[in-house]
Chain A
């Protein structure tokens, strides 16, 4: 009797440790995938770094796979410009929306607006791309500048601005809401108006969280692929202004790093494929920098309480 009990006890303990190991294994799968992605992309990109060279790859403005010319600078410029455009167009709205939801909106308005913004965060990028193609591109085409086909940085920036709006708005709203109520009360009790309280106490206290929201939005913008392919024109060219007005640079067609990979990977071989993996490496590094700074910002906000 005692024998069977202790045997069962041993069995139970064995199962317990075995399950612990199994679960540890699955926890390590993510890290394995990260490692695999890193190793794989690097390994496949290696020939490009070796044969083309990091500097030529990053600064070359010509991308002509037929002639084995692989410069990513135009695509880097495309990604950076379109992200910049999206931030300029989308950020004021997104932050305004966040502040409104967290601090100004009456309860019932909040109850309607917040879930709809969250819902919109889940709408597929292909739908935004489609809307861009059908509605925004023809609109932009109406701007009378030579060579303007509608497809280009401006249309892409507008699409992207709409896409990052929900992300930035919801993360920034959370940051504002986590500002302790005592700060607001303290300020109001000193005779500050709600707006003064918001501007001088609440927003400064939520600063790092709001900044992290912006950086997160940046990351999403840099990583967006499909919607960009659909509206940016995909031409491999250095974006340039068509007239003396420097803003017409945004009417130029362009290509993003992400689009470069997606459009060409399925038929690329040899050095061409390697150069596309190198594009992936560049994108990966760019986004890692962005995400790491978002994490650092959030952590510093947390520390200050």
Chain B
């Protein structure tokens, strides 16, 4: 009686589902082969001296990556020093204060602040580089330096930090706040003693995400960090991060083996970052921090 037989429809389903299986497997395969290739080519090049000696320049890219590790670390720390307080502050404001501020002066300000965060999150990184180059490198005379690069990097990760802070704060049960306020604590005391402590794991996740972004970012630092392969000695030193080193090795010296080796280290760092985030969020779901 029906014009479409169940058997035929089952067949269509089987065909469609196999296509979906194939596309998922293919995606994983493609992505895994990129990572796998770099790891397989890179890991055999690794040894202790690769981590402890600086690059010696030269056309075949002799030497290791010690100075680039140092530069990456400096950059990560400096970027967080700028972005963390600003980002956490902004997140706290947007979640804990903005809702309750209804007066005419504040409302548009809050809307503008939200618009700022959203816009910033969509700006492509090279624009941060362009801006950082014009403002910090040139106009403020910081030159190609860790300082210029970390300020530009801070702009880059600010939206990530703000958004994860907001998420973390929103996850704190309202009853905690009410409990504290009902005991006569001010709003700031409530935030400092009750809300922030229970949001620590979530906020930490944001920081780690930021670290990941800085480790992977290349374009911004390509135009603000200068690219010297010497070990940086001050915040005004030029330098190159590991990611930037991969770029220079591949593009300028064509030292692909060394580039692969450095790439493998980079991938390992990103895996570590992911594991750290997973560990933190497991604690988050397991017991909500120390509370």
Contacts and interface: CB of A to CB of B under 8 A. Distances in A.
A pairs with B: yes
A22 interface: yes
Contacts of B53: none
A128 B34 contact: yes
B229 interface: no
Contacts of A131: 34, 37-38
B256 interface: yes
Interface in B44-68: none
Contacts of B130: 41, 261, 265, 276-277, 280
B158 to A, nearest CB: 6
B35 A123 contact: yes
A184 interface: no
A117 B250 contact: no
B12 interface: yes
B124 A127 contact: no
B247 A101 contact: no
Contact of A33 (B19, B22, B158): B158
Name the prevailing secondary structure of the B interface residues.
helix
Contact of B188 (A15, A198, A219, A230): A15
A283 interface: yes
B97 A196 contact: no
Nearest to A280: B130
Contacts of B126: 223, 225, 258, 261-262, 280, 283
B186 A15 contact: yes
Given A97-B23, A134-B256, A27 B93 contact: yes
A29 B86 contact: yes
A31 B113 contact: yes
Given A30-B159, A101-B24, A162-B34, A288 B122 contact: yes
Given A258-B124, A280-B130, A116 B19 contact: no
Contacts of A34: 115-116, 119-120, 123
Interface in B250-268: 250-251, 256, 259-260, 263, 266-267
Contacts of A119: 270-271, 274
A229 interface: yes
Contacts of A199: 16
Contacts of B125: 223, 225
A261 B126 CA distance: 8
A283 B89 contact: no
B71 interface: no
B27 A280 contact: no
Contacts of A100: 20-21, 23-24
B112 interface: yes
Contacts of B247: 126, 129, 226, 230
Contact of A124 (B32, B37, B96, B243): B243
Contacts of B189: 12, 16
A224 B226 CA distance: 20
A232 interface: no
Interface stretch (B73-81, B171-179, B197-205, B210-218): B210-218
A133 interface: yes
A171 interface: no
A41 B133 contact: no
A113 interface: yes
A36 to B, nearest CB: 7
B27 A30 contact: no
B187 interface: yes
Given A16-B188, A127-B246, A287-B122, A166 B31 contact: yes
A197 to B, nearest CB: 10
Contacts of B223: 261-262, 265-266
A193 B13 contact: yes
A88 B146 CA distance: 39
A279 to B, nearest CB: 9
A249 to B, nearest CB: 24
Given A29-B90, A280-B130, 7 more contacts: A30-B117, A37-B128, A124-B246, A193-B10, A222-B124, A266-B223, A287-B123
17 contacts: A12-B186, A24-B97, A28-B109, A30-B113, A33-B120, A93-B30, A123-B34, A124-B266, A130-B259, A131-B38, A193-B12, A194-B13, A195-B16, A226-B218, A262-B126, A277-B130, A288-B122
The 5 closest A-B pairs by CB, nearest first: A223-B124, A96-B23, A31-B116, A26-B89, A124-B216
Interface of A: 12-13, 15-16, 19-20, 22-37, 40-41, 44, 92-97, 99-101, 104-105, 109, 113, 115-120, 122-131, 133-135, 162, 165-166, 169, 193-196, 198-199, 219, 222-226, 229-230, 258, 261-262, 265-266, 276-277, 280, 283-284, 287-288, 291, 295
